[in-house]
Amino acid sequence: DAKTTQPTSMDCAEGRAANLPCNHSTISGNEYVYWYRQIHSQGPQYIIHGLKNNETNEMASLIITEDRKSSTLILPHATLRDTAVYYCIVIEFGNEKLTFGTGTRLTIIP
Amino acid sequence: KAGVTQTPRYLIKTRGQQVTLSCSPISGHRSVSWYQQTPGQGLQFLFEYFSETQRNKGNFPGRFSGRQFSNSRSEMNVSTLELGDSALYLCASSQTGFEAFFGQGTRLTVV
């Protein structure tokens, strides 16, 4: 079973920041938080990951709470191409088995 | 560099037949994982191979099997196909401890 809880769906206006929450209250000290997204009928795409510090890359920012029980993925300026299902995954370093939950279906509204 | 390549992209098979799907990982990646995606069950892990050895296995029946070659290319085989095996089969490659890169998948339809 997935160790994360995400809202089923969210809408965001084009050009605004999309903030996608994820709860992972049972995360252990050596587990990372990874985010992937899947655009319809394509393979999942890696977005970002973190352990306990906030992370930023060219696609998104990841904010992890101090207790590490939740995190937020931020897409700073959402475009229509960001419409996808977003998956938050908790995984040990070196473990290649990704357990996908149901994810959040993000719809960007023009 | 080239991404993960899966062949074929689409496949139609009849119940009872067997099928073999192929995955070529990104050059230098030694870990290859396979996933099944269906509307009802979502994305589910099948198995992972590393250096020609199965390192991880999901909860699928023995009809689902795989192998990895010395060049890291991987195949998965499904024998005695059932209607419920209709799905998108995804392959992912990675360097251990780093993000996984997924292919476009093979869409298998069993009729």
Give pLDDT tens digits for B50-74.
999 999 999 999 999 999 999 999 9
Q: Which of A43, A97, A100 sits opposite B56 (nearest CB)?
A: A97
Contact of B3 with chain A, judged by CB distance below 8 Å, is answered with: no
DSSP A80-95: GGG-EEEEEEEEETT-
CA A94/CA A49 separation, integer angstroms = 13
Mutation target to probe the A interface, by most A beta carbons within 10 A, among B44, B53, B102, B104 is B102
Contact of B31 with chain A, judged by CB distance below 8 Å, is answered with: yes
Preceding peptide of B8 cis, ω within 30°: yes
Instruction: Please give chain A's pLDDT, 110 residues, in tens.
Output: 668 999 999 999 999 999 999 999 999 988 999 999 999 889 999 999 999 989 999 999 999 999 999 999 999 999 999 999 999 999 988 888 888 989 999 999 99
* A34 contacts on B by Cβ (under 8 Å): 99
HSE toward the beta carbon, residue A89, CA cutoff 13 A = 28
